Amino acid sequence: MEHLKPLLDYVIPGISLGTIYALIALGFTIIYRVTEVINFAQGEFVMVGAMCMSTCTRTLGLPIPVGFALSVLLVTLLGALMEWLTIRPIRRASVVSMIIVTIGCSIFIRGAAMFLWGKDALPWLEIGSQQPILFPGDIRVSPQTLWILGITVSVVLFAHLFFEHTFAGKAMTACASNRKAAHLMGIPVERMVLYSFALSGALGAVSGIVISLTYFPVYDMGVSLGLKGFCAAILGGLGHNLGAVIGGVTLGLLESLGVGFLSRVVQMSSGYKDVIALLVLVMVLIIRPSGILGPRSNDKV
């Protein structure tokens, strides 16, 4: 136990960071499954969620559950609006054109956020006490970490239940596996695309809210978070909900353990942690070209 303790100091934050990445990755996966579009505005959904939550609870003084519901609702609408205004009109264009449209949307949303909230960071979210909780074996865990784990795990479970046990969820899975067949079976594919953007918005909002427990929300936070979520989604094999979760947690662990390795073993700047994570990621891709959960064959595009 003595030897394991330093390791745990990195594993626990790594997992909590990883579950946040997992939520963002899930947002990417849901849209990708139905449309094959990589939504570059996913990070912006996260940012808007965090900003709204901070405004609702810290500036307006609303109770946390109300703020939570309002923020999620708002970003869900934002996702739906984005699909309706920009993706639907070009649904016959190539996927790459749609991806560029999502880049345009992300630039626009970031600009609008800068205009609405300014360039300075907003206050973060405070829930309960800040004192670390002592677990047996002298392991300290901050309450934020527990909140993050609790919320992200329940959202992932909720998403799982949605996809496995509701009609809309099953219909979306059908669209993912074969769009044309789904259409022929009478599933309204266009509505499913709308739902996928709305649901991704909701998941993005939750990840943003959870992130604002440990980071200050700021208008340009979406770029790096979206990037991490995208990495996690591919690491797990794009198009698998479970894969997104595994990919996210793997990436979080890699980063956190990378910091530990750099600071304790080789005495280098922790700035290299991303380099380590990315190197492992590229290696994984070269060894397993379709991600951790992807099909074994190389030919899957």
**Residue 133, interface with other proteins (CB under 8 A)?**
no
Residue the block writes with tokens 């094959």: 36
What's the start-to-end Cα distance of the chain, in Å? Answer: 45
- Nearest residue (CB) to other proteins, 50 versus 277: 277
Interaction pattern, residues 86-115, with other proteins; x per rule: CB under 8 A = x--xx--xx-xxxxxx-xxxxxxxxxx-xx
Do 123 and 58 touch, CB atoms closer than 8 A?
yes
Q: How far is the CB of 200 from other proteins (least distance, A)?
A: 17
Q: By three-state DSSP, how is residue 136 classified? A: coil
Which residue number, 63 or 111, has a Cβ lying nearer to other proteins?
A: 111
CA distance 95 to 93: 7
Q: Which is nearer to other proteins, 112 or 181 (CB)?
A: 112
Q: Which of 214, 187, 167, 191 is nearest to 19 (CA)?
A: 214
- Residue among 13 and 294 whose Cβ is closer to other proteins: 294
Burial 123-140 (b: 16+ CB within 10 A, else e): ebbeeeeeeeeeeeeeee
Q: Between residue 20 and residue 49, which ones bind other proteins under the rule CB under 8 A? A: 38, 40
Cβ closer to other proteins: 115 or 135? 115
How many residues bind other proteins (CB under 8 A)? The answer is 50
The pair of structure tokens assigned to 117 is 């909230």
List interacting residues with other proteins (CB under 8 A).
38, 40, 86, 89-90, 93-94, 96-101, 103-112, 114-115, 223, 227, 230-231, 234-235, 238, 269, 271-272, 274-275, 278-279, 281-282, 285-286, 289-291, 298-301
